[in-house]
């Protein structure tokens, strides 16, 4: 396992317990994470924190009462424990959680899983919001800070989430790097800031990855695609989990950015061909958020073309 200082051997079991949202139609949460992970050689056991008809950017959402409770999460994992399944997990991946009690239960379950298998890696995507707005109750910020990140090995915030978790403004590269260091002090050995628009980058986006285990601090600057999508953070976390188990941090970042960028390009290209199910706007919603074309991007996920290269940031 690269993130713990050693690369996975080809024979090492690769199995992920993925606790995220689920939608019947579309690709967010577990629907965005499971397929890429399976393509890249992982068995994935999904636990659906919610079960909605579609993502919440559509004008109508059904299933809002189908929300998994913390007691139900404990019951599900208890069944896995009794059947000696939990010892087979190499990773835990978590994404959208909207309930404080459920989030704290995740922390308890991760702690228990790590006691049973110390080499297990926990990748936490701290889904709080984006573009200046919260998707979840603001009270979850403190829970992530004080509780969940203490047991996380990898954290993958966007710029809004980094600012909320650290209280930093992230106005330039220096202050952003200081915020990443603050996040390290909360627990995670690896911090991946998935994207931020800094003044020096002239309208482009930047990824920054800091790994205390290897000592690497790297960054990639890449073009912004002028379109809004759903599920991009969920897809990125799954890609990074898989690629970082196969490569060092630099290569994992390059492949994750390449795959995500090319999936988004493919999504725009296919959606412009008139697919009526391509966006929430086509379904009568506002904003025109595009649904990821994951199935049609299978070849990209399996073998992305590296276009944007990492550069090292001196520590």
The residues annotated as belonging to the active site are: 234
Q: How many CA atoms does the CB half-sphere of 51 hold within 13 Å?
A: 8
- Which are the contacts of 67, defined by CB distance < 8 A and separation ≥ 6? 49, 50, 51, 98, 99
DSSP β-ladder status, 129-130 and 311-312? unpaired
Q: Count the helix, strand and coil residues of the chain and give each as a percent rounded to the nearest 5.
A: 40, 20, 40
Helix and strand element counts for the chain (H, E): 9, 11
Distance CA 306, CA 313 (A): 20
Six-digit token pair at 110? 């991760």
Give the residue carrying structure tokens 């940031």. 313
Distance CA 31, CA 36 (A): 9
Distance CA 104, CA 144 (A): 9
């Amino acid at each position: 396992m690269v993130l713990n200082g050693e690369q996975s051997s080809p024979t090492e079991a690769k199995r992920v317990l993925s606790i995220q949202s689920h939608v019947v139609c579309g690709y967010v949460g577990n629907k965005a994470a499971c397929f890429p992970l399976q393509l890249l050689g992982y068995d994935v056991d999904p636990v659906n924190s919610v079960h909605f008809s579609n993502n919440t950017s559509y004008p109508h959402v059904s299933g809002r009462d189908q929300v998994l409770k913390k007691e139900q999460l404990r019951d599900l994992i208890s069944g896995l424990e009794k059947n000696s399944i939990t010892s087979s997990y190499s990773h835990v991946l978590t994404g959208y959680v909207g309930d404080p009690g459920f989030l704290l239960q995740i922390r308890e379950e991760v702690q228990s899983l790590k006691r049973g298998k110390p080499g297990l890696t926990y990748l936490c995507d701290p889904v709080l919001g984006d573009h200046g707005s919260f998707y979840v109750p603001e009270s979850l910020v403190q829970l992530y800070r004080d509780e969940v990140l203490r047991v996380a090995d990898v954290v993958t915030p966007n710029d809004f989430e980094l600012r909320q978790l650290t209280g930093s403004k992230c106005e330039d590269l220096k202050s952003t790097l200081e915020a990443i260091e603050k996040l390290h002090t909360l627990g995670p050995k690896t911090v991946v800031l998935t994207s931020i628009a800094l003044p020096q980058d002239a309208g482009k986006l930047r990824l920054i990855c800091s790994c205390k285990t290897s000592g690497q601090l790297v960054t990639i600057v890449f073009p912004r695609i002028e379109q809004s999508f759903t599920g991009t953070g969920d897809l990125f976390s799954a890609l990074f989990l898989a690629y970082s188990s196969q490569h060092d941090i630099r290569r994992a970042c390059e492949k994750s950015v390449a795959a995500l960028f090319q999936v988004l390009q493919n999504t725009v290209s296919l959606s412009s061909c008139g697919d009526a199910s391509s966006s929430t706007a086509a379904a009568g919603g506002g904003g025109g958020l595009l649904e990821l074309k994951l199935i049609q991007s299978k070849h990209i996920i399996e073998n992305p073309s590296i276009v944007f290269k990492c550069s090292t940031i001196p520590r």
